[in-house]
Structures are given as structure tokens and as C-alpha cells.
Amino acid sequence: MKQVTSGEPNRHPTEAAPLILPVILAGGSGTRLWPLSREHHPKQLIGLIADESLLSSTAGRLDGLNEVELANELLVVCGEHHKFMSATQVRVSGKPARILLEPAARNTAPALTLAALDARARHGDPVLVVMPADHAVSDNRAFQLAVAQAATYAQENAIVALGVLPRHAETGYGYIKLGAPLAGVRGTSGAHLIERFVEKPHQELAQRYLESGEYWWNSGIFVVRASTWLRAIEALQPEMFAACDAAWSNGTTEGGFFKADAAKFAACPSDSIDYAVMEHLTSTSQDNTPRGIVMPLAAGWSDVGSWDAVWEIMPKSPEGNVARGRVMFEGTEDSFVHSEGRLVACVGLKDVVVIETADAVLVANKNDVQQVKAIVGRLKSEHHAEAQDHRKVHRPWGHYDSIDRGERFQVKRIVVDPGKQLSLQMHYHRAEHWIVVRGTARVTCGERTFLLSENESTYIAVGMVHRLENPGKTPLEMIEVQSGHYLGEDDIVRFDDQYGRAGTPAVDSTAAPAPVVPSVTG
């Protein structure tokens, strides 16, 4: 291929480094990693490959990058369901973060547009490093060097995609076909113009891509100035730009989160960064359309999108096995087994995936794990709770674990973090018995407020306004027994809530009883 030098950025070694703002897109659901990843607790929020969550790892990915100036905060875009867990995970990384809330799922292009609008207002015109929250990188330094080089092109009205040299004929990734190579400041930079984006190929086509050497995996990581992205989206997708601009301009700050206006955002089309913009880019800038450039990323990247991808990046035994939790292998090869609690023993198996959780177990051939998404689709269509929540459900005040349930009753283990409180609430259809196991509880029940210590209990009658608080400095642990003819999620009225959830409508007290499903505590 001929090297392209005309139109190259005129960069000087002493030129001021651009301000880099990390943008983390944290709206994924991770359905192919069920049952560990659930709709309300997706893969970016769990310790999938280490104790640290993928979101926490992503938040620290640019730590130590000295070649550029980093902004003093992260920008995280996520949905309402995940806002408290996302904030907690980012806090674990030690990074100050501004969290933007999408009122509805609209894919990655609108999410980036909201981020670019916010970045332009708060930071001038920074270079955005756009990272999905649910990817893994094993070599952070190599990642940082790729970002620093990509930023030099982003300063010159280009949108830079980070591409990964394919290691095998992968059918689960999109690909980027390389255009002409570009010259860098000191000779070749490894960057290419983008000829075109291609969809996930079938096996035979993926093999041809691999053998040609002209196609790289599309990592979904982009480096672009805020103004460059906004000009591109306005030119190529004016309806999307207008909806996002109106939603951001009319957004509000609540409880430390910035929420785009729901009514304005509802008019926004749903589309990905690739479809909305990248597939339309040409090799030279024309009007408001920037150049599309792909930079090589050799940093041990994986989108961790399915169980075989998790197996691929994990350390393995001599037999090719990966075990997490209580696992025993006998005569088993090239398998991945994850146990959340129970002992899992595998005998005489090859190329299997076994994922054990408290309420669901997945057993699959490693070559067929893409079909897990179909299982999740069936769970949703048949209204199984396992599609959305684990037995252990996280809340902004702590968590609860549904220990047992049956007709007209449910038992939960509740843990309230120090200084936290549940909403002031009432139920139309269920009564509750509370038993303190550890710590001290402050209970509001009607007009009374009182303390309960370990081994003490109280009763909350149907229709009684109540609240549970932890006034202590250690976690409060208690057992809750719910009883009644309806234990549904929607039987809760919140009168006061420090997390902005007050005003939740209750179920109609005259409605016919619905099937018993796990209820939302707090």
C-alpha cells in the first residue's frame, strides 16, 4: 500500500498536549454472560475475570498516562437501573466521576453525543477516549501509548478507532478493512485510513479476513475531539443530534447524577457509533465529515463478550482448564467452570462451560456459547425473574438475598450499610416480620421510632408506613419474613427517599392478585 502523507497533521514535538477526557459507556447488558451477568447487574459491574469489576478496571485504564494532560474527572454514561452500582464501582477506582444518565437505552451513538455535549460545556473541547465499560485489557501501558498516538490524529479533525490485529477467525466481532497507511511524526505510525466497517462474518468469511491481513477487529474504542464528534453527528444524523442536544440542554442534576430530559430523549433514534457515523466517513475531510482512521491496539484486548472469550484470556492449567470458585476436574480438558458457592465436579469432559450461581446453572459446549443470548431471550419472554436479577440484589443502601419463597411468603436476608436508610414506605398487600441478627436497627413504624438490637424483632402490618435505618458504624444484618396474598415488585409506595425514588406508585389495592415474584425491598 502507498503511504499517505498529504493532509497529515502538522504536529511539532513542542506542541501542547491535548486535554484527554476518559468517557466510559456503561449501558451494556451482557446477555451472553448469563447467568453471572443479569439485566439489573450486568457484566461491567461484576468481578468477571478478577475481584475488581470491569468498570473499575476501565476507570483506571489511563492511570499513569504522562504523554497527555488528563482531565480531573471521568465521564460515565449509564442507565437509571445501574446508576448507584456504577457510582460505587467508580468510587472503588478512586476516580472522581461525573455520571450522565440515559432515560432510555438508545445504543452507543446517542450516549457518546450526550457525553460530547457535556464535555464541551465543562472542559472546552477535550479529546474524548471513548471506552466500553465491559472490556478487558491486559497491558495498560500499551493501551495508553496507543491512545496518546491516536490523540494526535484526533486533534486534526479525525475520528480514530482502535483496531486489534485478529488472533483467529472470530465470528463474534465486527471488522475494519484497512485503507492506505499513514505516516506519523517519526515515520510510519501503524495507523491507516478506514476503508470500511464490516459486520460480524460467518466462519468462512472470517477465515478469509484473517488470511488477507487487511482486516482488524473493531474494538469499539474511539478517540475523538468533542467538537469533531458533534459536527459529524449533526451532519450525518441531524435528528439524533437535535434530540440529544434538547435532552442535554433540558437535563437536571439529582442526587449527584445528571439526567437527560426523558421526554426529549425519547425522540432520539437508536443507533451505534459504527452505523451512525463511522461507516459514512471518507478518507479526506469534506464539509463537516471528519476522516476515519484506525490505529493498531496490541494490549491484550478482549470484549469479554461470551464465555469462550473469558476462557481465552484466563490463565489455564496444563489441561487447558480454567476454574473459579469451588471446582474439581477429573479427566477434563479445555473447559471453563465458575462456581459461586457449591462444589462443581467435572469428570470426562472437553470444551464445556459450567456457570453455577445461587439460582441458576448454565452448562454449554464452549463452541456454542453465543446461543446463551437466546436462552436469556426466552427467560424474558416467559417472565422469569432470573433474566433480570440475581438472588442477591444490590440496592443503594446495601443488598438483600432472597433465601426462600413460596405461596404467600418470602424470606430475605437484608444487609444495610452503615449510615444508610431505606425509603419511608408502605405496602398494600404484605406484612413483614423483622429480626435483627447483627448490628442495630432504627425502625420507624407509624408514629413510633425505636431501636432494635441483636436478637430483637418487630412486626410491620399491612398498610403501615415504615422505614429501616442503620445508625451504627458496622453493617446491619437482619432477616425479613414477608407474608401476604401478593408479594410483587410493584407493591411499594415511597413517601420519602434519599435516593430520589419517592413517589413510586403502588399496585392498585383492588386489583386481582398477580403471580408471586421476588419483591423489591427498600
Chain segment 12-64, per-residue pLDDT in tens: 333 566 799 999 999 877 789 999 999 888 999 988 888 889 999 999 999 98
The pLDDT of residue 167 is above 80: yes
504 vs 168: CA distance, rounded Å: 50
Expressed as residue numbers, the domain containing 337 is 309-378
Chain segment 480-515, per-residue pLDDT in tens: 999 999 988 788 999 998 887 765 443 333 333 333
Q: What is the pLDDT of residue 2?
A: 35
The pLDDT of residue 74 is above 90: yes
Say yes or no: 145 and 292 in one domain. Answer: yes
Total domains, the chain: 3
CATH of the domain at 433: 2.60.120.10
Please check whether residue 383 lies inside any domain of the structure: no
Q: What is the pLDDT of residue 80?
A: 86
Instruction: List helix spans (H) across 34-139.
Output: 54-59, 83-92, 108-123
Please check whether residue 259 lies inside any domain of the structure: yes
Task: Work out the mean pLDDT of the chain and round it to a whole number.
Answer: 88
Say yes or no: 253 and 350 in one domain. Answer: no
Single pTM value for the model: 0.83
Among 343, 378, 413, which residue terminates a domain? 378
Among 258, 273, 305, which residue terminates a domain? 305
Cα distances (Å, whole numbers) of residue 259 to 44, 102, 200, 507? 21, 7, 33, 26
The pLDDT of residue 405 is above 80: yes
Bigger pLDDT: 252 vs 390? 252
pLDDT band at 350 (very low <50, low <70, confident <90, very high): very high
Q: What is the pLDDT of residue 13?
A: 37
pLDDT band at 519 (very low <50, low <70, confident <90, very high): very low
Please check whether residue 13 lies inside any domain of the structure: no
Please name the residues in contact with 240: beta carbons below 8 A apart, sequence gap of 6 or more: 109, 110, 113, 233, 268, 269, 271, 276
Average pLDDT over residues 128-134: 96
Say yes or no: 415 and 395 in one domain. Answer: yes
Q: What is the pLDDT of residue 189?
A: 66
Say yes or no: 350 and 323 in one domain. Answer: yes
Say yes or no: 266 and 172 in one domain. Answer: yes
Say yes or no: 357 and 414 in one domain. Answer: no
Q: What is the pLDDT of residue 365?
A: 97
Average pLDDT over residues 183-198: 74
Say yes or no: 232 and 359 in one domain. Answer: no
Please check whether residue 478 lies inside any domain of the structure: yes
Chain segment 93-127, per-residue pLDDT in tens: 787 899 999 999 999 999 999 999 999 999 999 99
Among 305, 327, 348, which residue terminates a domain? 305
| Tally of CA atoms within 13 A in the half-sphere of 315 that contains its CB | 3
CATH of the domain at 56: 3.90.550.10
Q: In what order do the strands lie in the sheet with 424-426?
A: 448-452, 441-445, 466-469, 424-426, 493-496
Say yes or no: 136 and 278 in one domain. Answer: yes
Say yes or no: 192 and 331 in one domain. Answer: no
Q: What is the pLDDT of residue 503?
A: 59
Say yes or no: 173 and 111 in one domain. Answer: yes
Say yes or no: 344 and 455 in one domain. Answer: no
**Contact assessment for residue 130 and residue 112, using Cβ atoms and an 8 Å cutoff:** yes
Task: Name 20's bridge partners.
Answer: 70, 127
Please check whether residue 12 lies inside any domain of the structure: no
In angstroms, how far is the first alpha carbon of the chain from the final one? 62
Please check whether residue 489 lies inside any domain of the structure: yes
**Contact assessment for residue 359 and residue 386, using Cβ atoms and an 8 Å cutoff:** yes
Please check whether residue 231 lies inside any domain of the structure: yes
SS3 155: coil
Say yes or no: 272 and 139 in one domain. Answer: yes
Please check whether residue 343 lies inside any domain of the structure: yes
